[in-house]
Amino acid sequence: MQKIIDGKAFAADLRADITKKAAELKARDAIVPGLAVVLVGEDPASQVYVRNKGKQTVECGMLSFEHKLPDTTAQDELMELIDKLNNDDSVHGILVQLPLPKQIDENSVINRINPDKDVDGFHLDNVGRLSIGDEGIVPCTPLGCLMMIKDQLGDLSGKHAVVVGRSNIVGKPVAALLLQENCTVVITHSRTVNLEEECRRADILVAAVGRPEMVKGDWIKPGATVIDVGINRIDTADGKTRLVGDVDFASAEPVAGKITPVPGGVGPMTIACLLHNTLQQACRINNVAVPE
């Protein structure tokens, strides 16, 4: 097996499997999974993500519904749209792209989504289910991380996992998933004392802090599996910009046993897992088995 984990290839395999299952679901039960993506405002990065989501949804044989609203949208208008999508039988997944404009309360919007259609896994019902180890919808980026880690390492029981970052979108759910896999899990953050030492104990190190190239090679235990969730755009000396992760790849790669690159690591897995969640929920909502 190669040292650099190829997230792009892994995601392509996952999408191929989803495409096959979506075709089977259509032939067997006349169900076509539908994903609604809601974008409020004009944030350039969000626009790119939403475009990619729509494109890949269609490529997998599913229906994509895009709702673009101005950044002046009032909370009530957004709530009305969510209610409409909750009641629309052709929609099995609803994703509201974050961040939302400041006049809108994110948590109220997320928790208005029918938990069975919450393919981001951000609704309190799904967060609670993950927390107690009950079946629910798992957030896409953490699910993508776990799939790659398990593909590399198999059984994770007893492994020492260190998560750098405690966000609701990545740090906390990825820690919950690793705990469910019987890892010993340490969550670290900006106030952690001796962060480097904590990281050096990790068999599995997940970096999700949003600090460009913060984790250096000498923070890593030789042979460890390093998953870099960061996507940071930095200025280079020649006046251009470059995408880097939260891990300093140049110094980390020689020490790690396995490592994800940026770009081409965790990133492509996120949308693939979103499509995975949408297909799963289309089956669950219609009370049919997921095709083999």
**Is 53 known to be catalytic?**
yes
Identity of the residue, 25 or 60, whose beta carbon is nearer to ligand GUN in the bound complex? 60
List 69's β-bridge partners, or say none. 40
Picking from 190, 247, 239, the residue whose alpha carbon sits closest to that of residue 217 is: 247
Catalytic residue among 21, 56, 97, 172: 97
The binding site for ligand GUN (CB under 6 A) comprises 95-98, 120, 140-141, 169
Catalytic residue among 116, 118, 120, 228: 120
d(CA 95, CA 56): 15
Identity of the residue, 32 or 98, whose beta carbon is nearer to ligand GUN in the bound complex? 98
**Is 71 known to be catalytic?**
no
d(CA 40, CA 98): 9
193 burial type by CB count under 10 A (0-12 exposed, 13-18 middle, 19+ buried): exposed
Identity of the residue, 31 or 269, whose beta carbon is nearer to ligand GUN in the bound complex? 269
**Is 47 known to be catalytic?**
no
Dihedral (Cα; 60, 52, 112, 110), 10-degree rounding = 130
Residues 6+ apart with CB under 8 A from 14: 147, 269, 272, 273, 275, 276
Identity of the residue, 98 or 153, whose beta carbon is nearer to ligand GUN in the bound complex? 98
157 CB neighbour count, 10 Å cutoff: 9
Angle between helix axes 44-59 and 7-29 (nearest 10 degrees) is 50
Active site residues: 53, 97, 120
